[in-house]
């Protein structure tokens, strides 16, 4: 980290300590709230979401050659293929903003271009079919349609702009990748496909959230999610037994552990800070009272949309929780434009994820990516609010 950023960080910490409301009744409540949020995160996301994601990230680093990643997702890859694959990944993964981080770190470290990698980073949590359907059912069809279109477009536009803004450094990175010595594939294409299919299936079904309306396909899958998860775990164990050596499994586990050490402590710290400042969704026990948020997102001004997008980007939303939260805010007077702005920015980012993204691709790239998400969400929310 450059010295000026260290100085800025120290200054921010000093100001926080200086103005900390130690005599306020909200402070102990906020501390307890941050612990509740941390416990909730550990119980509902670590084992079912993050753990499978870490294993996928480790597998990407060990079993997928760097040349393959560069060929299909690198800066010089076919743009339609690279951005197309990255932008629709959320329809398969249905993960939250934190769960997508290990997989993003895996493909980025293996040579994926900044554009496709950040497209994947946004689309993973944002283009969630169940969340989009739930938005349409609970908030109305216009919200569902706007969220679906906005998420796909945002993913591609954000990635393309990131690639353009940082094209010089990305070109140097890409040229360095082309100079690598060719690697022999660790496994055949069929073996890799079967292996990763099982890993992704375990992640998808283990993290399958309970729908708010207990009917239809999603409820049926939820009812048998653990049977499906166990079936794919058994299938994975069989594949490891017949296709993988002990040394390969050990290397895979060590690579996964590397990502755990890199990402997990930062995530936990980010969750604590998020809970301290904002509390859990619906609790109003953080240092920042909910009434301030609600008062600032009424109407459809650019300021209201910007504040909603920024608040959504900072707040941590577990998968699908953003819909009932927005429903409650709409009932409290939130404008339709700010509501969509929050739906577009909220699931894709959070304060914990920002901390981790910064450790992966640096402060400047992280700041630009966050700015693009917030600004796009603001503008689209503003237009939606005028049309709705």
Query: Could you give the percent of the chain with pLDDT greater than 70?
Result: 86
pLDDT at 181: 46
Q: Is 111 left (phi over 0), alpha (psi -120 to 50) or beta?
A: left
| 8, part of any domain | no
Lowest mean pLDDT of 167-181, 184-198, 246-260, 367-381, name the range.
167-181
pLDDT at 368: 95
Q: What DSSP string describes 131-200?
A: HHHHHHHHH-HHHHHHHHHHHHHHHHHHHHHHHHHTHHHHHHHHHHHHTSPP---SS-HHHHHHHHHHHH
pLDDT at 1: 55
What span, in angstroms and rounded, lies between the C-alpha atoms of 130 and 107? Answer: 25
pLDDT at 347: 80
Q: What is the mean pLDDT of the chain?
A: 81
pLDDT class for 328, splitting at 50, 70, 90? low
| 23, part of any domain | no
266 and 36 Cβ atoms separated by less than 8 Å: no
**Model pLDDT for residues 285-324, shown as the tens digit of each residue:** 777 776 776 778 878 889 999 999 998 888 877 666 677 6
Instruction: Take residue 11 and report the two structure tokens written for it.
Output: 């200054």
340 and 312 Cβ atoms separated by less than 8 Å: no
| 32, part of any domain | no
Instruction: Take residue 189 and report the two structure tokens written for it.
Output: 């294409």
Range of the domain at 378: 42-387
pLDDT at 375: 94
| 1, part of any domain | no
DSSP state of 103: H
C-alpha angle 211-347-112 in degrees, rounded to nearest 5: 120
pLDDT at 170: 77
| 308, part of any domain | yes
Of 348, 59, 43, 323, the C-alpha closest to 202 is 59
What is the domain count for the chain? 1
**Model pLDDT for residues 333-371, shown as the tens digit of each residue:** 788 999 999 989 988 888 888 888 998 888 899 999 999
| 16, part of any domain | no
Of 300, 302, 304, 280, the C-alpha closest to 292 is 304
What's the average model confidence in pLDDT over 12-19? Answer: 79
Query: Could you give the percent of the chain with pLDDT greater than 90?
Result: 22
What span, in angstroms and rounded, lies between the C-alpha atoms of 238 and 5? Answer: 49
The highest-confidence range among 21-30, 52-61, 84-93, by mean pLDDT, is: 52-61
pLDDT class for 267, splitting at 50, 70, 90? confident
pTM of the predicted protein model: 0.70
127: pLDDT strictly greater than 90: no
């Amino acid at each position: 980290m450059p010295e000026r950023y260290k100085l800025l960080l120290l200054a921010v910490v000093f100001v926080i300590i200086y103005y900390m409301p130690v005599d306020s009744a909200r402070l102990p409540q906020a501390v307890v709230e941050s612990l509740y949020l941390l416990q909730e995160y550990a119980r509902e996301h670590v084992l079912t979401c993050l753990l499978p994601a870490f294993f996928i990230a480790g597998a990407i680093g060990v079993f997928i050659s760097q040349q393959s990643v560069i060929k299909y997702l690198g800066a010089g890859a076919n743009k339609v293929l690279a951005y197309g694959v990255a932008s629709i990944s959320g329809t398969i993964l249905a993960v939250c903003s934190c769960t997508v981080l290990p997989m993003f770190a895996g493909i980025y470290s293996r040579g994926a271009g900044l554009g496709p990698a950040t497209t994947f980073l946004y689309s993973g949590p944002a283009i969630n079919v169940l969340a989009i359907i739930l938005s349409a059912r609970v908030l109305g069809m216009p919200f569902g349609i706007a969220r679906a279109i906005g998420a796909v477009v945002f993913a591609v536009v954000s990635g393309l702009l990131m690639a353009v803004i940082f094209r010089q450094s990305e070109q140097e990175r890409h040229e360095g990748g082309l100079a690598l010595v060719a690697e022999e594939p660790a496994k055949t294409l069929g073996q890799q496909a079967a292996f990763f299919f099982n890993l992704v299936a375990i992640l998808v079904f283990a993290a399958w959230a309970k729908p708010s309306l207990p009917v239809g396909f999603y409820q049926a899958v939820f009812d048998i999610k653990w049977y499906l998860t166990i079936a794919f775990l058994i299938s994975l164990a069989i594949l490891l037994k017949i296709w993988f050596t002990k040394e390969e499994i050990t290397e895979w586990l060590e690579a996964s552990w590397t990502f755990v050490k890199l990402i997990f402590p930062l995530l936990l710290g980010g969750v604590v800070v998020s809970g301290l400042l904002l509390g859990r969704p619906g609790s109003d026990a953080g240092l920042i009272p909910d009434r301030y948020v609600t008062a600032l997102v009424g109407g459809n001004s650019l300021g209201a949309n910007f504040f909603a997008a920024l608040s959504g980007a900072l707040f941590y939303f577990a998968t699908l929780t953003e819909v009932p939260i927005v429903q409650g805010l709409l009932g409290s007077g939130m404008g339709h434009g700010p509501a969509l702005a929050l739906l577009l920015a909220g699931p894709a980012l959070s304060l914990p994820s920002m901390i981790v993204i910064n450790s992966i691709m640096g402060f400047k790239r992280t700041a630009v990516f966050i700015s693009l998400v917030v600004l796009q969400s603001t503008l689209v929310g503003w237009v939606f609010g005028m049309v709705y």
